Structure 1
Amino acid sequence: MPQQNQKVLVLFAHPSQDRSEINRPMFKLASNIEGVTAVDLYREYPTFRINVDKEQQRLLEHDIVIMQFPLYWYSTPAILKEWQDLVLEYGFAYGHDGKMLHGKSLLCAITAGGAENAYCDKGYNHFTIRELLHPLEQTASLIGMRYLAPFALFASRTAAEEQRVGVHLNNWKKLLVNLVENKVDLELASRLDKLTQLPNNLFKEAL
């Protein structure tokens, strides 16, 4: 019996899209995949007046939530933090009766300016990319969501001139399609440090 498809929500946060060589095409690609709802938070809420009811309903209607953003000072752009502060409220996402997101999955799709070897204890950033995202991982834990390893592109500033964007976009599409078709081993994805290379055993079946 075929597995039921999953609904994927991409929350895109990039405050300077006119300078984006990777995140903007990633968002465009996601917008054209059936089963994926792609939301540009800066475009939808230019004054940061987030519609909490609308955003909570979006969460209820989707199985997997992807936060897509460039890593800014080891954290998210401002609007994504505002979104978390307002939408993930007590009584909805956490607290005695706040169980509305239990069983769903959270994934960060990020671009990082530094090289991959900079994200380790001996690198100049001192921590792995997953360690730097621990606040989001703990948020997922608190609200009952499964946290998946981040899908990351390192050295993003030179990716275009080094002709690495195409490969990254192909991996992004492969990940999204497999998430929608419920072919990703979520247990394995939750244990990995990162999803940069998309290991072959990540997918239950070949596309």
Structure 2
Amino acid sequence: MSLSPRALVVFADPALHRSRISRRVGEAARSLSHVVVQDLYELYPDLYIDVGRERTLLKEADLVVFAFQLSWYAMPALLKEWFDTVFKPEWAEPGAQARLAGKSCWAAVGCASQPGDYQPGARHGRPLAEYLAPLEQTARACGMRWIDPHVFYGADGADAQTVDAHAEQLRALLAGHLARLAREGVAHGA
């Protein structure tokens, strides 16, 4: 008997208490079975990451999701620290252990700007994919399968109805990725 695919959502918002969007995204992800949400700023307010626990969760997951708001063209500081401590090359890169190889990796990113702002000659000067390239390359270097990110543009100016629709869309996409993995026969313990 095979198990259902599992997702680990690594969630990082340093100002969750002020964020309508991140709170709804976290709730939407938590509402799905077989999904573990690791809220880094809630779990590690002292910035000391339990590397062993995080690696155990990674090993158990078939889909790893990074959920965050883009700020100054980068992921939040604690998420970067998470990568630096948890994804140490000697642990994460493919080799004899291949701990992450074959897992799927997906980013759910919120941006204050609009899609047209992310192009040459526009406000941010380059495509959003270029700002997410370190995340994509890290996943690929670990042998993970990169799934094109889901981006919520105009996040700062979104009204409550738009935020709710975004959270529901993200929940549906996450459920869809898990269903696809199940159809492919990818499941922890399979």
Contact kept? 1:4, 1:181, Cα under 8 Å: no
After TM superposition, give the deviation of residue 180 of structure 1 in Å: 2.1
Contact kept? 2:10, 2:38, Cα under 8 Å: yes
Alignment deviations for residues 9-64 of structure 1 (CA, whole Å, 9 cap, x no partner):
10110000121021111101111211111111111111111111111110000001
Q: Aligned ranges for residues 77-96 of structure 1 at < 5 Å? A: 77-94=76-93, 96=95
Alignment deviations for residues 138-173 of structure 1 (CA, whole Å, 9 cap, x no partner):
111111011111111111111116x42232122111
Contact kept? 1:14, 1:70, Cα under 8 Å: yes
TM-score, scaled relative to structure 2: 0.89
Contact kept? 2:4, 2:182, Cα under 8 Å: no
After TM superposition, give the deviation of residue 176 of structure 1 in Å: 1.4
Distance in 2 between residues matched to 1:112 and 1:152, nearest whole Å: 7
After TM superposition, give the deviation of residue 120 of structure 1 in Å: 1.5
Contact kept? 2:107, 2:149, Cα under 8 Å: yes
Contact kept? 1:106, 1:147, Cα under 8 Å: yes
After TM superposition, give the deviation of residue 184 of structure 1 in Å: 9.3
Contact kept? 2:9, 2:36, Cα under 8 Å: yes
Contact kept? 1:159, 1:165, Cα under 8 Å: yes
Alignment deviations for residues 90-116 of structure 1 (CA, whole Å, 9 cap, x no partner):
332026435210001111111101112
Contact kept? 2:24, 2:164, Cα under 8 Å: no
Q: For 1:125, what is the secondary structure of its paired residue? A: coil
Q: Aligned ranges for residues 25-174 of structure 1 at < 5 Å? A: 25-94=24-93, 96-97=95-96, 99-160=98-159, 163-174=161-172
**Percent sequence identity over aligned pairs:** 33
Q: For 1:69, what is the secondary structure of its paired residue? A: strand
Contact kept? 1:91, 1:97, Cα under 8 Å: no
Distance in 2 between residues matched to 1:95 and 1:181, nearest whole Å: 26
Distance in 2 between residues matched to 1:127 and 1:142, nearest whole Å: 23
Q: Residues 115 and 159 (structure 1 numbering): CA distance in 2 closer, same or farther, change over 3 Å?
A: same
Q: Residues 155 and 82 (structure 1 numbering): CA distance in 2 closer, same or farther, change over 3 Å?
A: same
The counterpart of 2:174, out of the listed 163, 176, 193, is 176
Contact kept? 2:94, 2:141, Cα under 8 Å: no
More helix by share: 2
For the aligned residues, what is the CA RMSD? 2.1
Q: How many residues align?
A: 183
Q: For 1:181, what is the secondary structure of its paired residue? A: helix
Letter in 2 for 1:75: A
Distance in 1 between residues matched to 2:178 and 2:13, nearest whole Å: 24
